[in-house]
Chains A and B, each alone.
Chain A
Amino acid sequence: MAADSTSNSIYNEGSKLTAGRVIIYTLLVLCALYYLAPLYVMLSTSVKTLDEIRSGNLLSLPMSPTGAAWGKAWSSACTGVDCNGLAPFFWNSIKMAVPAVLISTLIGSLNGYVLAHWRFRGSEILFTALMVGCFIPFQVVILPMARLLGMAGMANTTPGLVFVHVVYGIAFTTLFFRNYYVTVPEELVKAARIDGAGFFMTYRKIIFPLSLPIFMVCFIWQFTQIWNDFLFGVVFGGSDAKPVTVALNNLVNTSTGVTEYNVNMAAAIIAALPTLVVYLLAGKYFVRGLTAGAVKG
């Protein structure tokens, strides 16, 4: 009996269509439908008219798709008091996310390089202490931060938000780079140092050229985090630097007048589009970022 089963792996052979495999595939497809349904509902609702929304239901196909709700969501929907659509806030988010991602990633790269290859006495303790920044609930630092930004004249400005995101993003980027750079063979770095390359020379010639994958992971992780952030945006964004997530929330939770579900859904997709595009284009790095972020320390 043992001899018979040795040829099988733990898994059934992929080609055999047994009852078990039919069940497995059915379950997997049902799961896929569960995850896709809200996306379908968002998309189809966003191209329906309000009348069609009332007469049809969640899953009914849009009969005469129209982009009107999208136009309104982008340029004329009311998010709280102002009625310029999501566009200004979308640009706010871009102006905030791009510098914040770049700065926090660069700092993280240098930090990771030091912590992986230029250890000094106490650097492990510093690393652990730094990692606490990944775990604290941000509510515990918000009040002093609001005060400080106010005093520095950076409250309710995009530079203020960039600053906050950089400060609380460094812990993650440092972690990513450090964990990646420890896998770079120490001999490589040692050889460069014996050849007389100093700290930055070694970074530029040895470490940096090997870093593309981890830079991608970090860019994507940070971009997703910062773009999707709501707490910092709502507390420090004021009325001028509000990111798109805050505007979307205001739009969806506006209680005056008729709720325009088609506009809400179009707005939700607009707010989600940048990270969705990143996910579609660089899903591999996205997953690596998620898993690297999950296995902390």
Chain B
Amino acid sequence: MSDHTLPYTAAAVGSPSHTPKQQGRIAAIADAWLPRLVLSPTIILSLVFVYGFIAVTAWLSLTNSRMLPNYEISGFNQYVELFALDRWWVAAANLGIFGGLFILFCLAIGLVMAILLDQKIRAEGALRAIYLYPMALSFIVTGAAWKWILNPGLGLEKMMHDWGFANFHFDWLVNSDFSIYTVVIAGVWQSSGFVMALFLAGLRGIDDSIIKAAMVDGASLPTIYRRIVIPALRPVFFSVLLVLAHIAIKSFDLVMALTAGGPGTSSDLPAIFMYQFSFSRGQLGLGAASAMMMLATVLAVLVPMMYLETKGARNGR
């Protein structure tokens, strides 16, 4: 990139001190083209590696590729096969369970903590830092930690027994009916502090005078929150939902570290399905089809939300 731009830089830098007209013209031309030149590598990269690669994956999903890619289109076989696989539906249903609960709990915990923290709290900075630090961790680390804590027999269960709750039983991690919920537990722990930070920033951005006016009118604090503050947080809700949905759909590392999709395939998610079929089972076509379904899910969430958000902003004015 810099190879192309160097001569132009020299011209641009050289021009101001001694300025015959010609040099001025060169500088003007340089200034017209340099911005495009600087941006062009990025544009080419994203054309190829984002749009081009999506197209290639879409193409692959229409072929019979197994271990090696084969570029002969053979129709929608892979999608038919995908939809006939129980394991895919387990993964999809798990995404629904995990995504729904993860978003719900993160929103609820994050909002409540933000409201509590917004009450002129003494050690606010320290508390905020404590709530937020899990976000600095890799999902793999979070998964490893919770795998140990939720370990039936040694972890939480043993601690409760030590404390005298002899009947306490908690084996979700190895129970195929509940394993996906352990992913929710770890995921919420990791991300809810971040939601709190976003809501807190939103709360701080609300105009005090509206709230003061409501107080003058005799509104109680809960009413003010319900009627004024929370509606004013609407744009924050959008951002938070967007980010959380995005985290949920591409969730891969957390499950890999915590349950590796098991027991059996009970905590499978589409991201894990895609990885295993593409790289361990040599079913590239099927992997590509599942990746396209993931993209479709992201778009299904993203497009209406973007639309609502821009529409909402316009109506708000």
Contact = CB atoms under 8 A, between A and B. Distances in A.
A118 B8 CA distance: 16
Q: Is the interface of A mostly helix, strand, loop or mixed?
A: helix
B249 A137 contact: yes
A294 B120 contact: no
B69 A147 contact: yes
A96 interface: no
Contacts of A147: 69
Q: Is the interface of B mostly helix, strand, loop or mixed?
A: helix
Interface in A127-162: 129-130, 132-133, 135-145, 147
A9 B230 CA distance: 18
Category for how many chain B residues contact A:
35 or more
Contacts of B53: 140-141, 144-145
Interface string A46-61: 0000000110011110
B36 interface: yes
A132 B239 CA distance: 15
Contacts of A11: 118-120
Contacts of B1: 107
Nearest to B132: A287
A168 B54 CA distance: 13
A81 interface: no
B50 A132 contact: yes
B96 interface: no
Interface stretch (A35-43, A62-70, A179-187, A208-216): A35-43
Given A133-B50, A199-B12, A296-B239, A36 B130 contact: yes
Contacts of A143: 56-57, 60, 69, 278, 284, 287-288, 291
Interface residues of A, number: 105
A141 B49 contact: yes
A36 B127 CA distance: 11
B49 A10 contact: no
A188 interface: no
A12 interface: yes
Contact of B35 (A59, A118, A145): A118
A252 B295 contact: no
In the A-B complex, list the 8 residue pairs whose CB atoms are closest, starting with the nearest.
Answer: A198-B12, A196-B16, A228-B138, A118-B35, A230-B253, A279-B136, A141-B53, A57-B159
19 contacts: A5-B216, A5-B218, A28-B113, A123-B35, A137-B271, A168-B49, A198-B11, A199-B34, A200-B13, A201-B16, A231-B271, A245-B138, A248-B141, A249-B143, A249-B257, A268-B141, A275-B137, A286-B132, A296-B242
